[in-house]
Amino acid sequence: MSRKLLETIRVENGRPQHLFYHQQRMDNSLEQLGYSCHYDLASLIKPPDKKMYRCRIIYDAESFTIDYIPYQKRTIRKLQLVQADELDYTLKYADRRPLDVLFMRKGDADDILIVKNDLVTDTSIANIAFFDGQRWLTPKHPLLKGTTRARLLDEKKIFESEIHLHDLDKFSHFALLNAMIGFEEIKNGIIAPLKS
C-alpha cells in the first residue's frame, strides 16, 4: 500500500472548516510514519471562490498536492454489514483499495458497515454513531479516528462504547459523521445483516 496520506476538508464560503482537527491529524499521521515535517494548512488552503468544496489533500514527507472538488452529497439510507477482521486503516491513506474491495460487496445498499472481530467500526466513508434512547454512542475501536468524531467527542455530543454486532438491535437509529457531512442523523436507515 502506498504511504501517501489523504486529508479531506470541507470548504464553505471560502473558509476551511474545523481546521484544528485536520491539522492535528496530519501532524500525528506524519509523526506515526516517522516523518519530521509539517504543513501549515491555514496558509496552504486557498479556495478558488466561495462555493462548497471538498478540499482533497494528498501528502507525504516529500510532496503535497491539493484539489478543490465541487461537493456532491451522497444519499445513504441502507448499510450492508461486511466482515473484515484483517483490515487496517488506522491512518487515512490515499490508497483506498482495501476499502474499495469491501465496498463492492454492498449489494443494493448505499454503503457498507464494516465489522472487525465482532465489533462494529465504520462505513467506507464515515464514522458512525448509534442512538440508545439517551446518548449517541460511537464505536470505541473505529477503523479510522475521524476529525468530526474527534470534535464531537471533545464537545461531549457523542460517547465512545464497544459496539458488538449483537448490540445493533438495541439502537433506534444511527448517524454518519465525517468532515463533509458533519453529523447526519439517519432515522429510517436500514442495516442489512451479514451475508453467509
Q: What is the DSSP track for 138-171?
A: EESS-SS--HHHHHHHHTTSSEEE--BGGGGGG-
d(CA 76, CA 177): 12
d(CA 63, CA 53): 22
d(CA 151, CA 160): 13
β-pair partners for 164 = 119
In percent, the amount of the chain with pLDDT more than 90 equals: 96
2 has pLDDT over 90:
no
pLDDT in tens, 114-160: 999 999 999 999 999 999 999 999 999 999 999 999 999 999 999 99
d(CA 7, CA 1): 17
Q: What is the pTM of this model?
A: 0.95
pLDDT in tens, 173-196: 999 999 999 999 999 999 999 986
Q: How many CB atoms lie within 10 A of CB 103?
A: 18
Q: Which amino acid is at 59?
A: Y
d(CA 125, CA 105): 15
Residue 154 pLDDT? 98
Going along the chain from its start, the domains and CATH numbers come out as: 5-70 (3.30.470.10), 78-192 (3.20.10.10)
Stretch 40-65: mean pLDDT:
96
Residue 183 pLDDT? 98
The cell numbers describing 27, all together, are 501532524
- Of 140, 143, 139, give the one whose Cα is nearest residue 174: 139
